Amino acid sequence: MVDPTILSQAMKTTPTLLADWNIIMPMLIPLVFAAGSLMLRGKDKWQMPMAIVAVLLSLFGAANLFLDILYLGPQSLTLSGWLAPYGISFTADALSALFVLVASLVTLLILMYSPADVDKAAIKSGYYTLVLMLLVGVNGSFLTGDIFNLYVWFEVMLISSFGLLILGGEKIQLDGAVKYAFLNLLGTTFFLIATGLLYGITGTLNFAHLFTQVANSEAEGTLAILSLMFLFAFAIKAAAFPMYFWLPAAYHTPRVAVSAIFAGLLTKVGVYALIRIFTVVFPEGNGAAFEIFGILGGLTVIVGGIGAIAQTELRRMLAYLLMSGVGILMIGISIHTDLALAATVQYAVHSMLVMTGLYLLSGVIGRMAGSFEIAKIGGIVMQNHYVAIAFFGLALAVSGLPPFSGLWPKYMMVQAAFMNDNYWLIAAILIGSFLTIAAVGRASIQMIWRGGDVDTPDGQYEARGQRLGAKQLRVMMLPIAIIFMLSFALGIMPESLIRQANLAAYDILNIAPYVKSTLGG
């Protein structure tokens, strides 16, 4: 028998309350249901209800966790009874909890849209299972307190996204998937190498333990190089400036619901990993990392805006707008004050919702017009007012105009840059916003107001048959309407989200409670 005093140094001896399990629920529930839906493959009718139940339950779990953290501060659960850093920790602060909540919500909205977009063949190939596994990976990434497990959750997420990307098996999908897979695998490999080197230097993989170990480490030069390797790895995931090519190449190829879930979740996980690593592991940026963040972020915003103007395909244009948003998030990490980080968190939430909404809407417009080429789309306003209004509203939101949710985080970001004398970042944000307005404005004029194809003269309306049934349109518009309302509500009542974002920013900059929740003491 082992001496109990020795045992208590390595193992948790106090009872674990059921409330402590809240932290793994947003990951565990979809995992169990994904396994269940894998077992019930072939029973096509069961797949959709199961997925809805799973995501509703994990949304409930996420809300539960969110409230826990709101009242109690960062929470941690180290699995299998070992104490951190020996066991594998799940640690969540306000940032993780907020992201998990929004990710579950976005997945729910996409599942509501899916029946209109996903055919039988895709369900047979496991569409709903893959969506659930994607949510497992995303929520796992947000909640894990261990850098190697962050890698594992990234892999879970990537493998599910590969599956979703090639559902249908068309030539253009395989082409996009190859680029997507290659660049993402490159990023993952760098991530893994850097993690190995970090373990070699510090002897730990636990985030909270890394925080104390890196502060005591004398290998400053190596750590500075490692920070750049992490930056490179996650800049690929987040689709930042020089490594963004995979995103516009891949995101317009799968079905719309898949594009939407990618746009809502995947790049944000890259940004989350950047925030987490550059606050817990490299709190001072170690070397020039924060300056590089600023440069890459500014260039990403501008290149994204220019790319959006240059595109003639609706979903490719949205891909560039998504990328432009990632640039703003990177600028926030670069400025690194509490105001800037609050703006970053707020913008991330806004971008998750609005980009999902725009992609879903692009599916509606594409179905109404029979094409995703902007030149071939026309007369949307005559076919259906609501679709036109929704596009107008979400276009305002994505370009950061009132009364929608994009305004406040951009305003806060400019203010934060101003207080830090980062004038060229302000210029980048404003130019990027201007380019975004130009891109969505042009798309709106051409698709919504023009009567028909690109050659239709002004004032004429080229009547086309309804391609989309009324019932199907209702199914597709419901999640978009919810996103529209949310974005509007966050635009006119921003305090609610700003308060959560401030809390998240506080948790990001004050690591002590995070470390204490994991390591105890």
Partner 1 sequence: MNTVIFRTIAPALTALMVLFSLFVLLRGHNEPGGGFIGGLIAASAMALYGISSGVQAVRRALYFHPITMAGFGVLLAAASGIPSYINQVPFLSGIWWKLPLGNGQYFDLSTPMIFDIGVWFVVVGAITAIMLTLEEAD
Cβ atoms of 242 and 304 closer than 8 Å? no
The pair phi, psi for residue 212, each rounded to 5°, is -75, -35
In the complex, the smallest distance separating the C-beta of residue 358 from partner 1, rounded to whole angstroms, is 34
- 6 versus 18: smaller Cβ distance to partner 1: 18
Largest CA distance in the chain: 89
Site string (62-81) toward partner 1, x via CB under 8 A: ---------------xxxxx
Taking CA atoms, 172 is separated from 150, 166, 200, 251, in Å, by: 31, 9, 42, 11
CB nearer to partner 1: pick between 81 and 469:
81
31 interacts with partner 1 by CB under 8 A: yes
Best CA proximity match to 89, nearest among 143, 39, 35, 169: 143
Q: At closest approach, how far in Å is the CB of 269 from partner 1?
A: 22
Cβ distance to partner 1 smaller for residue 124 or 499:
124
Which residue from 4, 15, 457, 465 is in contact with partner 1, where contact means CB under 8 A?
15
- Judged by beta carbon, residue 76 or residue 344, the one nearer partner 1 is 76
For residue 164, state whether it binds partner 1 (rule: CB under 8 A).
Answer: no
- String of b and e for 54-92 (b: at least 16 CB within 10 Å)? bbebbbebbbbbbebbeeebbbbbbeeeebbbebbbbbb
Residue from 265, 269, 260, 280 nearest 514 by CA: 280
- The full 3-state SS of 385-452, as one line of letters, equals HHHHHHHHHHHHHHCCCCCCCCHHHHHHHHHHHHHCCCHHHHHHHHHHHHHHHHHHHHHHHHHHHCCC
Residue choice 36, 73, 168, 283 for contact with partner 1 (CB under 8 A): 36
Q: Which is nearer to partner 1, 41 or 179 (CB)?
A: 41
When asked if residue 41 is in the footprint of partner 1 (CB under 8 A), the reply is yes
Closest CB to partner 1 among residues 155, 338: 155
Which neighbouring-strand residues pair with 78?
89
Q: Does 376 bind partner 1 (CB under 8 A)?
A: no
Q: Kindly state whether residue 28 participates in binding partner 1, applying the rule CB under 8 A.
A: yes
**Is residue 4 at the binding interface for partner 1, with CB under 8 A as the rule?**
no
Residue 152 contacts partner 1 per CB under 8 A? no
Residue closer to partner 1, measured from CB, 459 or 521: 521
- Tokens matching residue 181: 């897979």
Token digits of residue 184: 């993402």
- Pick from 7, 8, 10, 16 the residue near partner 1 by CB under 8 A: 16
Q: Distances from the Cα of 420 to the Cαs of 297, 304, 332, 334, 430, in angstroms?
A: 16, 24, 12, 11, 16
Q: Give whichever of 31 and 208 is closer to partner 1, judged by the CB atom.
A: 31
Least CB distance from residue 79 to partner 1, whole Å?
5
Binding part of the chain for partner 1, among 24-32, 99-107, 269-277, 328-336 by CB under 8 A, reads: 24-32
Fill in the DSSP letter of residue 460: -
Q: Which of 7, 19, 32, 67 contacts partner 1 by CB under 8 A?
A: 32
Nearest Cα neighbor of 360 from 320, 387, 389 is 387
The interface region with partner 1, picked from 37-45, 257-265, 368-376, 478-486 by CB under 8 A, is 37-45
Shortest approach of partner 1 to residue 159 CB, angstroms?
A: 12
The residue type at 9: Q
The verdict on 54 binding partner 1 (CB under 8 A) reads no
| CA–CA dist 479, 360 (Å, integer) | 8
Q: Is 17 in the site for partner 1 (CB under 8 A)?
A: yes
Catalog residues that contact partner 1 under the rule CB under 8 A: 12, 15-18, 20-21, 24, 28, 31-32, 34-39, 41-42, 77-81, 87
